[in-house]
């Protein structure tokens, strides 16, 4: 699809290619809309300086919000699987680590801090950083469920010793998930090179130029992407 | 860097310092002050229980229910010696029947009012706190019903009064040492005040310990394997007991070990979160300020 502004066809002509389905985008934003309340209401019980928020009726309300949000947060991936099972499986598979991720991670600091893109090996639909984010989200989603559900329904049923460990692991999962979320939020909202991410999460599309540059293995296919990358490297070496 | 840019850079630096200080402040505010390393003072109030004097009349249970306005609880008609079955949100004081080496004994079970209390350590609202007089007080208005106290107490004392199991609306409940009586100067805990045989007595902890030691000597002279429970357990309890056998025979832990995980939560997990978030936020801030000078949006494709 090409977007053109009337009267000035030469000014902006961006070719867009689809990246996320409507269900994926809605799921992403519902996940955001439940993750943030979950983190905020949970932290009221976690950080001593938030103690006034946790007391009495306010605390009861926070705990109820936590549970309502938890139900939606927990069901979203399942709904996604039911609605678009093939996309779900494809998506999850793409998060699995590969060999070239190491090269990407090595080149990442120069890329993110200085904008140097040359050393970045070609990536698929998700780069190694996005994969890390995805894997952390999957693992912590499972951990939140495995620890949270027994804490909700098992109090007084499961042994107290187990409950104590559940509290600790729920908190550890929170530290990992919120830590990752902060980085994710910064990259999505504030980092100049990542502007395309927010666009594709809003409209479901990505500019072809951006995709060719940042997700070459997805855009060109693995073989062609490697050929282009090797050619570029040789060219750079000659100069 | 050209001259035009330098004022902006200065602003950045000032912003950076200000925001770093903010981050550091948040990190420090997040560190909970180390739990009371205080020792139980001889002037603290305490209760002493002497099972040899106890006749199991349960006047203490009744007095507790009456003063604290706790409703009746249905019980198992076949278990006439222990009724109700155990502590609950509406039963804060109970006579248990325990089998020891020297035969069957009554044992009064209630909150032990630890000096190093797991419930206080994990309570996220401050509803459970140490009273200056030493006992563990409970402010039900502050409680949000999270129930951590019920799961971390090594004695299984606090119980949740659950209003709605689905939303989690609840309030914690436990023996408060009749804090309202103490604060109002009406007298001591109603269980100890009513005990007709002085099996439960209350007073200054130092004096009660002396009394307990004398009693232990006396019982040992009679050939009983008597000992004091609560002098050092969990930092020193404000409910002292004389036992005639191992604590386990009375359903008490020899070494109340729970505060380990409560401490881990308070001293390791909470500061860990503060540290991790602090480090990430500072890192993001640094990256933000650095990147906006190094990468220009005009050049980004």
pLDDT at position A149:
95
**Alpha-carbon gap, residue B158 to B117, rounded angstroms:** 12
Please check whether residue B148 is in contact with residue B122, taking contact to mean a CB–CB distance below 8 angstroms. Answer: yes
* Per-residue pLDDT at A221 exceeds 50: yes
Q: Is residue A179 less than 8 Å (CB to CB) from chain B?
A: yes
Q: Is residue B271 less than 8 Å (CB to CB) from chain A?
A: no
**Alpha-carbon gap, residue B116 to B53, rounded angstroms:** 29
Cα dihedral B129, B132, B134, B139 sign = negative
Q: Indicate the pairing of strand B239-243 with strand B45-49.
A: parallel
| % of chain B exceeding 70 in pLDDT | 84
pLDDT band per the 50, 70, 90 thresholds, residue B29 = very low
pLDDT at position A24:
93
Q: Is residue A187 less than 8 Å (CB to CB) from chain B?
A: no
Same-domain check for residues B237 and B146: yes
Question: Per the structure, how many domains does chain B have?
Answer: 2
On whether residue B300 sits in a domain, the answer given is: no
On whether residue B133 sits in a domain, the answer given is: yes
On whether residue B109 sits in a domain, the answer given is: yes
pLDDT, tens digit (0-9, with 9 covering 90-100), for B269-282: 888 888 999 999 99
User: Shortest CA distance to A56 belongs to which of B234, B141, B137?
Assistant: B141
Query: Could you check whether the bond before residue B84 is cis, i.e. omega within 30 degrees of 0?
Result: yes
- Determine, for residues B301 and A209 on separate chains, whether the beta-carbon distance falls below 8 Å: yes
The average pLDDT across A35-43 equals 94
pLDDT at position A114:
82
Same-domain check for residues B114 and B245: yes
pLDDT at position B15:
52
User: Shortest CA distance to A80 belongs to which of A166, A22, A165, A5?
Assistant: A22
Our CA angle for B42, B47, B48, nearest 5°, is 95
Query: Which of A175, A186, A190 shows the shortest C-beta gap to B272?
Result: A175
pLDDT at position B10:
43
pLDDT at position A3:
56
Strand partners, B22: none
Q: Which domain holds residue B191?
A: 45-256
**Alpha-carbon gap, residue B169 to B160, rounded angstroms:** 10
Same-domain check for residues B210 and B63: yes
Cα dihedral A16, A20, A25, A28 sign = negative
All residues at 6 or more sequence positions from A126 whose CB lies less than 8 Å from its CB, including other chains: A94, A95, A134, A215
The average pLDDT across B47-76 equals 92
Q: Is residue B79 less than 8 Å (CB to CB) from chain A?
A: no
State the best of B127, B158, B269 to mutate against chain A, taking most chain A CBs within 10 Å. Answer: B269
**Alpha-carbon gap, residue B91 to B85, rounded angstroms:** 10
On whether residue B11 sits in a domain, the answer given is: no
Q: Residue A184: its chain B contacts at CB < 8 A? A: none
* Per-residue pLDDT at A67 exceeds 90: yes
Same-domain check for residues B185 and B264: no
Q: If you average pLDDT over every residue of chain B, what do you get?
A: 84
Same-domain check for residues B262 and B184: no
Q: How many CB atoms lie within 10 A of CB B257?
A: 11
- Determine, for residues B124 and A163 on separate chains, whether the beta-carbon distance falls below 8 Å: no
Q: H or E stretch including A44? A: helix A22-46
Please check whether residue B212 is in contact with residue B21, taking contact to mean a CB–CB distance below 8 angstroms. Answer: no
Which of A130-134, B12-16, B63-67, B292-296 is least confident? Answer: B12-16
The average pLDDT across B77-89 equals 82
Same-domain check for residues B213 and B265: no
* Per-residue pLDDT at B260 exceeds 80: no
Please check whether residue B117 is in contact with residue B109, taking contact to mean a CB–CB distance below 8 angstroms. Answer: no
> Per the structure block, which two tokens stand in for B296?
């220009």
**SS3 of A214, please?**
helix
State the best of A50, A136, A148, A175 to mutate against chain B, taking most chain B CBs within 10 Å. Answer: A175
All residues at 6 or more sequence positions from A96 whose CB lies less than 8 Å from its CB, including other chains: A131
Cα dihedral B239, B240, B242, B248 sign = positive
Query: Which of A49, A64, A192 shows the shortest C-beta gap to B297?
Result: A192
Same-domain check for residues B182 and B223: yes
Q: Give me the CATH number covering residue B103.
A: 3.30.70.20
pLDDT at position B264:
79
The average pLDDT across A225-233 equals 85
> Per the structure block, which two tokens stand in for A18?
């689809």
pLDDT, tens digit (0-9, with 9 covering 90-100), for B132-148: 999 999 999 999 999 99
Same-domain check for residues B277 and B166: no
Same-domain check for residues B76 and B153: yes
Strand partners, A205: A18
On whether residue B140 sits in a domain, the answer given is: yes
Q: Is residue A158 less than 8 Å (CB to CB) from chain B?
A: no
Q: Residue A46: its chain B contacts at CB < 8 A? A: 124, 270, 273
The average pLDDT across B16-25 equals 52
> Per the structure block, which two tokens stand in for B77?
């008609």
pLDDT at position A237:
79
pLDDT at position A48:
84
pLDDT at position B100:
75
pLDDT, tens digit (0-9, with 9 covering 90-100), for A205-216: 988 888 888 888
Same-domain check for residues B243 and B135: yes
pLDDT at position B267:
80
pLDDT at position A230:
85
User: Shortest CA distance to B112 belongs to which of B252, B226, B264, B260?
Assistant: B252
On whether residue B279 sits in a domain, the answer given is: yes
The average pLDDT across A178-185 equals 94
Cα dihedral A140, A143, A149, A150 sign = negative
pLDDT, tens digit (0-9, with 9 covering 90-100), for B195-247: 999 999 999 999 999 999 999 999 999 988 899 999 888 889 999 999 988 88
pLDDT at position A46:
86
On whether residue B296 sits in a domain, the answer given is: no
* Per-residue pLDDT at B301 exceeds 50: yes
**Alpha-carbon gap, residue B192 to B64, rounded angstroms:** 9
Strand partners, B239: B47
How far, CA to CA in Å, does B29 sit from each of B15, B17, B21, B32, B262?
21, 18, 12, 7, 20
**DSSP for residue B38:** P
pLDDT band per the 50, 70, 90 thresholds, residue A12 = low
User: Shortest CA distance to B140 belongs to which of B121, B160, B122?
Assistant: B160
pLDDT, tens digit (0-9, with 9 covering 90-100), for B100-119: 777 888 999 999 999 989 99
**Alpha-carbon gap, residue A183 to B279, rounded angstroms:** 11
- Determine, for residues A155 and B160 on separate chains, whether the beta-carbon distance falls below 8 Å: yes
pLDDT at position B1:
35
Residue with tokens 């200080």: B21
Q: Indicate the pairing of strand B227-229 with strand B94-100.
A: unpaired
Q: What number of residues does chain A have?
A: 239
How far, CA to CA in Å, does B201 sit from each of B147, B208, B213?
30, 8, 14
pLDDT band per the 50, 70, 90 thresholds, residue A4 = low
> Per the structure block, which two tokens stand in for A96?
């699995």
pLDDT at position A2:
54
Closest Cα in chain A to B34: A48
On whether residue B8 sits in a domain, the answer given is: no
Same-domain check for residues B198 and B269: no
pLDDT at position A15:
87
**Domains of chain A by start residue, with CATH:** 95-238 (1.20.950.20)
**Alpha-carbon gap, residue B1 to B9, rounded angstroms:** 9
Same-domain check for residues B98 and B183: yes
pLDDT band per the 50, 70, 90 thresholds, residue B250 = confident
Q: Could you write out the DSSP letters of every residue in A151-204? A: HHH-TTTS-HHHHHHHHHHHHHHHHHHHHHHHHHHHHHHT-GGGHHHHHHHHHS
Question: 3-state secondary structure string, B113-130?
Answer: CECCCHHHHHCCCCCEEE
Q: Is residue B298 less than 8 Å (CB to CB) from chain A?
A: no
* Per-residue pLDDT at A33 exceeds 90: yes
- Determine, for residues A56 and B142 on separate chains, whether the beta-carbon distance falls below 8 Å: yes
* Per-residue pLDDT at A64 exceeds 80: yes
All residues at 6 or more sequence positions from A80 whose CB lies less than 8 Å from its CB, including other chains: A23, A24, A27, A87, A88
pLDDT at position B32:
44
């Amino acid at each position: 699809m090409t977007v053109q502004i009337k009267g000035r066809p030469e000014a902006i002509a961006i070719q867009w290619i689809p990246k996320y389905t409507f269900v994926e985008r809605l799921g992403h934003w519902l996940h955001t809309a439940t993750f943030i309340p979950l983190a905020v209401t949970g932290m009221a019980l976690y950080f001593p300086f938030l103690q006034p928020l946790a007391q009495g009726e306010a605390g009861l309300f926070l705990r109820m919000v936590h549970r309502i949000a938890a139900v939606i947060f927990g069901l979203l991936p399942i709904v996604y699987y039911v609605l678009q099972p093939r996309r779900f499986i494809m998506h999850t598979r793409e998060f699995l680590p590969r060999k070239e991720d190491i090269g990407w991670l090595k080149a990442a600091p120069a890329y993110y801090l200085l904008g140097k893109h040359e050393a970045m090996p070609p990536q698929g639909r998700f780069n190694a950083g996005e994969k890390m984010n995805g894997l952390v989200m999957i693992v912590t989603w499972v951990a939140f469920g495995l620890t949270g559900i027994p804490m909700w329904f098992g109090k007084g049923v499961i042994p107290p010793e187990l409950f104590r460990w559940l509290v600790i692991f729920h908190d550890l999962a929170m530290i990992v998930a919120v830590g990752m979320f902060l980085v994710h939020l910064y990259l999505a909202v504030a980092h100049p090179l990542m502007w395309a991410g927010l666009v594709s999460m809003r409209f479901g599309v990505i500019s072809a130029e951006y995709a060719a540059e940042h997700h070459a293995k997805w855009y060109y296919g693995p073989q062609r992407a490697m050929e282009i990358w090797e050619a570029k490297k040789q060219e750079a070496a000659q100069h | 860097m050209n001259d035009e840019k330098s004022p902006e850079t200065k602003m950045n630096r000032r912003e950076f310092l200000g925001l770093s200080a903010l981050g550091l402040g948040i990190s420090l505010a997040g560190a909970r002050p180390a739990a009371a390393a205080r020792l139980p003072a001889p002037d603290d109030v305490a209760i002493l229980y002497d099972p040899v004097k106890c006749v199991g009349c349960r006047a203490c249970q009744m007095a507790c229910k009456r003063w604290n306005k706790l409703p009746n609880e249905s019980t198992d008609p076949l278990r006439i010696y222990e009724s109700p079955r155990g502590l609950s949100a509406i039963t804060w004081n109970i006579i248990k029947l325990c089998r020891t080496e020297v035969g069957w004994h009554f044992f009064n079970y209630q909150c032990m009012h630890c000096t190093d209390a797991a419930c206080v350590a994990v309570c996220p609202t401050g509803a459970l706190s140490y009273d200056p007089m030493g006992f563990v007080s409970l402010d039900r208005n502050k409680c949000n019903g999270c129930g951590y106290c019920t799961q971390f107490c090594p004695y299984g004392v606090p119980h949740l009064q659950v209003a709605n199991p689905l939303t989690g609306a609840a309030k914690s409940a436990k023996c408060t040492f009749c804090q309202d009586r103490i604060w109002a100067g009406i007298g001591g805990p109603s269980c100890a005040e009513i005990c007709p045989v002085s099996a439960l007595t209350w007073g200054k902890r130092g004096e009660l310990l002396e009394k307990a030691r004398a009693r232990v000597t006396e019982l040992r002279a009679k050939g009983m394997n008597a000992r004091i429970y609560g002098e050092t357990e969990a930092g020193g309890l404000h409910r002292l007991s004389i036992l005639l056998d191992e604590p386990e025979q009375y359903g008490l832990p020899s070494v109340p070990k729970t505060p380990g995980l409560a401490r881990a939560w308070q001293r390791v997990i909470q500061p860990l979160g503060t540290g991790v978030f602090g480090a990430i936020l500072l890192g993001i801030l640094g990256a933000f300020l650095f990147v906006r000078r190094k990468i220009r949006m005009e050049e980004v494709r």
